[in-house]
Structure 1
Amino acid sequence: MNPTEFASIRWRERDVRIEYVRIAPERTNAPLVVFLHEGLGSVAMWKDFPQQLCDAGGYRGLVFSRPGYGRSTPRDEDEHWDVDFMHRQACEVLPAFFNAIHLQEKPWLFGHSDGGSIALLYAAQFPHAVAGIVVVAPHIFVEDVTVANIEEARQAYLSTDLPQRLGKYHNSADSAFWGWNRIWLHPPFRRWNIEAELGAIRCPVLAMQGVDDEYGTLEQIQGIARQVPATQLVELPDCGHSPHRDQPEKAIVSAVTFIDLHRSSTP
């Protein structure tokens, strides 16, 4: 990947710095894949997976850290995200970031977990602004198994070296962890559900999930297919919540095959 760059956006009434990295920008005529990280992710936590996927498909890539994560501006200590936090990322942060870097083409979005949900919301809100989306272990509603494992993550953060390990990937581990953990465990968030919004999606969709996903059942991707019937589903055996780590070769082959199938029909 190329050196880290930073873009400035105005969000939540303050200036926010967004960390991002470009992959193979010299492939000027190649599709652009934008990677949207998970609830505790960042540019660095993707490691070399975006590079591997882009090299396999001959694509360009764009990897960035959302506000509160990685080397992007951390949350203020008194900043608490609300039930609509993923909607705000999709409808406010992502368009502002694209505008800040002068993105004028239709990207492909590759989103993992919360990043997958954000990709779905962006595609529903801006149906003509995206070439297609690959969502990996996305959430479209809240399940008991999700909440139970996020509660376990909270206990691990309070009682193990998890803060130190996360600190390798974030300027502020507390910013990344508590921004994500508190809202997912906030009782009103149990009613969060984006199924009804998915019907507005018009681009190709690939939804991928591990059969052994500890943060959600296969109802998450099957629910997408009910709302967007042309969705291609990939269910990976012997795979947990992170197919790009548990089954990277299969994740890459599935994504590249999907993008190449649809790119010829996408301006």
Structure 2
Amino acid sequence: MGVRQESAAWAATLRRHTIPTELGPCTVRVQQGFGNGSPTTAAPEVYLHGAAGSWTSFRPLLSEASPRDRVLIDLPGWGESTGEARLEHLSIEAMGHAVTDVLNSLNYTRWNLVGHSMGGFLALHIAAAWPEQTASVAAISPTSFAVSKAARKPLRSLPRFPAVVGMMLIMRTLAVLGPAAPPLIGAVGSTPLMKLLMAPFFADPRGISAGVIRRLGHDVRPAGFSAAARAVAHYDFDRWRGIRCAVLATRGETDVFTSTSDLDRLASTVPVVQAVAIQHCGHFANLEQPEKVLRLLEDLWSE
């Protein structure tokens, strides 16, 4: 396990680790909480990004110090975990094992999961598969039932979920370009076109800085996105009935990926769920309404 100090001034307390998993080496950043004498004395906050992101999508939630350790993971196939990623083996089960392998390597035996989009889906799976170790789940705009159906039946789902199906088709097309796709998307990310393309994912695109848009463009991995879509297509959601911890599930009021019906079905599937609709927000509440998300997280963890 390799370790080096993060160079950015704002992230001086983060330490970078590279941890082997069955899906390839996983890059992880860890910040020790001010309330912990050692990494095993409290359940850490574990952040799981979406299928078009990396750990950096959680930056707005990290401005204040936490009494708990923070673990920020670039899942295999995304961010800095792309080099030797074995996407041909990617499944929700394999990603769950990759995350728990990382946490076990860091000597954590219990965890609080915070997942955005695909990361919310993954967090719910981990809570069902490892109920004793999962203390809580916060699923921010979790892509779940609708996205799974769209991945199985894209043409039938197109009229109801055009943004979901459209994104899947675009990513599938770009994935054909292989390693050339991320640099191409990154180049587009530096132009006004990227803000136009990302506009449907925000309630107020004008309030999103050019830097955030560039970072989102930089983090897009078409091959990883397409592999994740295949992985969720035939997932057995009845597994989530075995979740024992408290679950917070949110969606933005203009969310194009997570529907109201998704949260309703989630509430009927998972034993203990607090479903929250966030006003003036799209799919990226962690970027658009971080203060609201932080208040919800603190309420969840204080319980």
How far is 1:199 from its partner?
0.4
What percent of counterpart residues are identical? 20
Query: After the TM superposition, which residues 147-158 of structure 1 pair with which residues of structure 2 at under 5 Å, given as runs?
Result: 147-152=165-170
Query: After the TM superposition, which residues 19-98 of structure 1 pair with which residues of structure 2 at under 5 Å, given as runs?
Result: 19-28=27-36, 31-49=43-61, 51-52=62-63, 55=65, 58-75=67-84, 79-80=87-88, 85-90=91-96, 92-98=97-103
Measure the CA separation in 1 of the matches of 2:271 and 2:128: 14
How far is 1:259 from its partner?
1.3
How far is 1:236 from its partner?
1.2
How far is 1:59 from its partner?
3.3
Structure (1/2) with the larger helix percentage: 2
Measure the CA separation in 2 of the matches of 1:65 and 1:10: 12
Match of 1:135 among 135, 139, 144: 139
1:36/1:193 CA distance change after superposition, 3 Å = same
Match of 2:226 among 181, 185, 189: 181
Task: Supply the AA of the counterpart residue of 1:41.
Answer: G
1:163 aligns with 2:186: yes
1:3/1:251 CA distance change after superposition, 3 Å = closer
Measure the CA separation in 1 of the matches of 2:280 and 2:219: 30
Contact 1:195/1:224, CA 8 A, preserved across alignment: no
Contact 1:86/1:114, CA 8 A, preserved across alignment: no
Contact 2:53/2:79, CA 8 A, preserved across alignment: yes
Task: Supply the AA of the counterpart residue of 2:95.
Answer: Q
Measure the CA separation in 2 of the matches of 1:34 and 1:115: 10
Query: After the TM superposition, which residues 93-104 of structure 1 pair with which residues of structure 2 at under 5 Å, given as runs?
Result: 93-104=98-109
Aligned length: 244
What TM-score do the two structures reach when normalised by structure 2? 0.70
Contact 1:75/1:179, CA 8 A, preserved across alignment: no
Deviations 1:223-266 (A, max 9, x none): 11101242101111221111111211111111111211x2xxxx
Contact 2:57/2:286, CA 8 A, preserved across alignment: no
Runs (4+) of structure 1 exceeding 6 A deviation are 155-158
Query: After the TM superposition, which residues 116-127 of structure 1 pair with which residues of structure 2 at under 5 Å, given as runs?
Result: 116-127=120-131
How far is 1:210 from its partner?
0.9
Q: Secondary structure at the match of 1:11?
A: coil
1:7 aligns with 2:18: yes
1:241/1:81 CA distance change after superposition, 3 Å = farther
Structure 1 segments unaligned to the other structure (5+ residues): 263-267
Task: Supply the AA of the counterpart residue of 1:148.
Answer: G
Structure 2 segments unaligned to the other structure (5+ residues): 1-10, 151-156, 176-180, 191-213
Deviations 1:14-58 (A, max 9, x none): xx3322222243420665211011112212333342x13x63x64
User: 1:110 matched to which residue of 2?
Assistant: 114
1:191/1:99 CA distance change after superposition, 3 Å = closer
Q: Secondary structure at the match of 2:20?
A: strand
Q: Secondary structure at the match of 2:251?
A: strand
